[in-house]
Amino acid sequence: MDDTSTTTLLVRRETRDGERRVAATPDSVRRLAKRNVEVLVERGAGQGARFPDATYEDAGATLVDDDRAADADLVAQVAPPTLAQVDALSAGTVLLSLLAPHRHLDVVKALADKGVSTLAMDLVPRITRAQAIDALSSQANVSGYRAVIEAAYALDKYFPLFMTAAGTIRPARVVVLGAGVAGLQAVATAKRLGAIVHVSDIREAARDEVASLGATFIEVPDAEDATGEGGYAKEVGESFLERQRAVLTEHLSQANAVICTAQIPGRPAPQLVTQEMVEAMQPGAVVIDIAAADGGNCALTDVTGTVDHQGVRIIPGHDFPSAMANEASALYALNIATFCELLVDEEEGLHLDVDDDVVAGALLTHDGAVTAPRIAEMLEEDA
């Protein structure tokens, strides 16, 4: 007699404008099947990431014509659910998704009211056990790479040094703001393309990481280490920001490209590049702002499109992972599958251990309550 219990996972088709990623790939479906997870995939879910429906069927998934969230134990998606998608969930369902909860408080409240247990992929704690589940890092890696490629495409000059019969072409100068996962990938990519790279970060640990990639760390006078929880940068005072801007203005005035990656989870992005700093830049330079969705690191960033200010173009980069949907989906699907393996026992089925450090860190709503302290505070303030 077979004593194993089957867990059902629904992979939703993304409905938010511009979102091309998908929360599962044929490879992740095969992996989950080994854990006795039955995967339902909405038809067309993988189309934007170039995973045809037939490839999911071949991997063992069942294609469904509509949102079967009410019948699933687990539901996985990429973008935050709409209110209509929340309404389709059943109490007790476990949702795995990127949530950006500080920007979608109405959705968070709806999830709590519905009795959904929400595991926010962007709240996964940065601890060793959770590295393979860390979706923020996997997607930031894509963003950092794509930001440099976009900058190279937008510029009207070469990135590398060239010695030609007609003369010497100097390499591009790139300034990267923030040396987290996205920033370090941007540094590595810009160096591979032959640029001279300078990096600004307020965390002392970033200095060695920047040096290891062959870039130059930008020093700020009287700087204090601002490493926060989970290795992220914490907020700093206006006095430090003024000193940092003074130093950055000099570097930006010589830069061909600026890659902005500085973000603080759950808070607006720090404004590092003022309008005056942009006006000190050379005409033809570009600013790529990965932090655009949280307000941007540049004062002139517009999340809806490129801004041209006195010949300097400011390009929002919040949707870069979706622009590289195939690779980004493969990474995100691995994050989801690994998390599911933590939640599902082959014999007993789904078990949400709220005492587990990884689960507790990512848990946003559970048993009708908002369990993430910072988000709960924001909801109270918003009430």
Query: What is the set of active-site residues?
Result: 126, 131, 134, 137, 232
How far apart, in whole angstroms, are the C-alpha atoms of residue 183 and residue 315? 16
Q: Given strand 363-366, what is the order of strands in its sheet? A: 62-64, 37-42, 7-11, 74-76, 94-97, 117-120, 363-366, 369-370
Q: How far apart are CA 260 and CA 20, in angstroms?
A: 23
Q: Which amino acid is at 231?
A: G
- The answer to whether 256 and 155 are in contact (CB under 8 A) is yes
3-class secondary structure per residue, 252-294: HCCCCEEEECCCCCCCCCCCCECHHHHHCCCCCCEEEEHHHHH
Residue 234 zone, left/alpha/beta (φ > 0; ψ -120 to 50; rest): beta
**Rounded Cα–Cα distance for residues 372 and 376 (Å):** 6
Provide the residue type at 251 as one letter. Answer: H
The pair of structure tokens assigned to 268 is 């607006």
CA distance linking residue 93 with residue 104, whole number of Å: 19
Buried residues in 246-272 as b, exposed as e (16+ CB within 10 A): eebbebbeebbbbbbbbbebbeebbbb
Q: Give DSSP secondary structure letters for 88-119.
A: TSPTTPEEEE---GGG-HHHHHHHHHHT-EEE
Q: Which helix (H) or strand (E) holds 62?
A: strand 62-64
d(CA 110, CA 350) in angstroms, rounded, equals 23
- Which two structure tokens, joined as six digits, stand for 66? 């509509």
